[in-house]
């Protein structure tokens, strides 16, 4: 019997930023579907918990230190991942950061920090992984964007610019790499509570305002992303590339509560 459409058994996935936040959930979801995992973080010891989780699922796991702002670190990470498992089938380009400030207060350094991490770093991780995928004639690159890939919000201009860039980068890479059997897509979560934005969720008025704008009437839960990441990593999406998949409860419809 052939491999099931959503079965990742025998595949090797890299998840950047796997030590916390959505990265841990992406890692568990892929392992749950059968993939072995290379998890990356700025400190190798920060990955101990997710490695233990993956091994408890019966999959192999390997932790690698990575600074996405450093070109040499990216190259070293991919080489170590390849040596560990002998292949790289899936990349979840998740590592990112944000700096919340009014636009008029954003410094040169703030801009560079966010764009270098979220956009430049994502590109060069994808490039390094693609060099290993091309000889195999197969690959799944999943760039993690955001609802801000298509919408702008006050107070996070560099972040919105970086996530919009990830969307455009995804389309270009899809065109560039498709002939090698590599699909490239952007998974764009809406409002999910993470370490980057948890302070916002302490404001009940803000949460009520947010929920009022979401057709499904709640913020996202991390496991709401499981199906999407498995879909984009698996054979079920073999003819899907260059796309941005919004998982946002419908907030990107622009809906607001209104009386008719």
Task: Report which of 192, 115, 114, 103 is spatially closest to residue 146, judged by C-alpha positions.
Answer: 192
Alpha helices in 57-120 (DSSP H): 71-85, 108-115
Q: Which CATH superfamily is domain 12-244 in?
A: NAD(P)-binding Rossmann-like Domain (3.40.50.720)
**Count helices and strands in the chain by DSSP H and E runs:** 8, 7
What are 203-242's pLDDT values in tens digits?
889 899 899 999 999 999 999 999 999 999 999 999 999 9
Task: Report which of 127, 137, 26 is spatially closest to residue 78, judged by C-alpha positions.
Answer: 127
Q: Could you confirm whether 159 is annotated as catalytic?
A: yes
What angle (nearest 5°) sits at the alpha carbon of residue 195, between those of residues 254 and 203?
60
| Tens of each residue's pLDDT in the chain, 260 residues | 356 899 999 999 999 999 999 999 999 999 999 999 999 999 999 999 999 999 999 999 999 999 999 999 999 999 999 999 999 999 999 999 999 999 999 999 999 999 999 999 999 999 999 999 999 999 999 999 999 999 899 999 999 999 999 999 999 999 999 999 999 999 999 998 877 777 888 888 989 989 999 999 999 999 999 999 999 999 999 999 999 999 999 999 976 554 33
Residue carrying the six token digits 């702002």: 69
Q: Of 138, 153, 159, 209, which residue is the catalytic one? A: 159
Q: Can you give the pLDDT at residue 33?
A: 98
Q: Can you give the pLDDT at residue 1?
A: 37
Q: Can you give the pLDDT at residue 60?
A: 98
What's the farthest any 2 CA atoms get from each other in the chain? 61
- Return the domain boundaries, the chain: 12-244
Q: How many residues are present in the chain?
A: 260
**Whether 199 contacts 176, CB under 8 Å:** no
């Amino acid at each position: 019997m052939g491999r099931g459409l959503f079965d990742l058994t025998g595949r090797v996935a890299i998840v950047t930023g796997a030590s916390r936040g959505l990265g841990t959930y992406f890692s568990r979801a892929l392992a749950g579907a059968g993939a072995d995992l290379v998890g990356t973080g700025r400190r190798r010891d920060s990955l101990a918990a997710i490695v233990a989780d993956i091994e408890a699922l019966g999959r192999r796991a390997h932790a690698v230190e990575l600074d996405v702002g450093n070109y040499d670190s990216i190259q070293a990470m991919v080489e170590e991942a390849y040596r560990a498992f002998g292949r790289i089938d899936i990349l979840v380009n998740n590592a990112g950061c944000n700096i919340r400030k009014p636009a008029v207060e954003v410094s040169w350094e703030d801009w560079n920090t966010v764009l270098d991490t979220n956009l430049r770093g994502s590109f060069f991780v994808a490039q390094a992984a693609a060099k290993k995928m091309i000889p195999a004639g197969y690959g799944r690159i999943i760039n993690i964007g955001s609802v801000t890939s298509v919408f702008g919000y006050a107070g996070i201009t560099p972040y919105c610019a970086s996530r919009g860039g990830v969307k455009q980068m995804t389309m270009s890479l899809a065109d560039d790499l498709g002939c090698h059997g590599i699909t490239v897509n952007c998974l764009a979560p809406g409002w999910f509570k993470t370490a980057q934005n948890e302070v916002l969720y302490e404001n009940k008025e803000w949460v009520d305002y947010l929920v009022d704008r979401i057709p499904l009437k709640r913020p996202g839960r991390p496991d709401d992303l499981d199906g999407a990441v498995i879909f984009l990593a698996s054979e079920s999406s073999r003819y899907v590339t260059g796309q941005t998949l919004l998982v946002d409860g419908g907030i990107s419809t622009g809906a607001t509560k209104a009386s008719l």
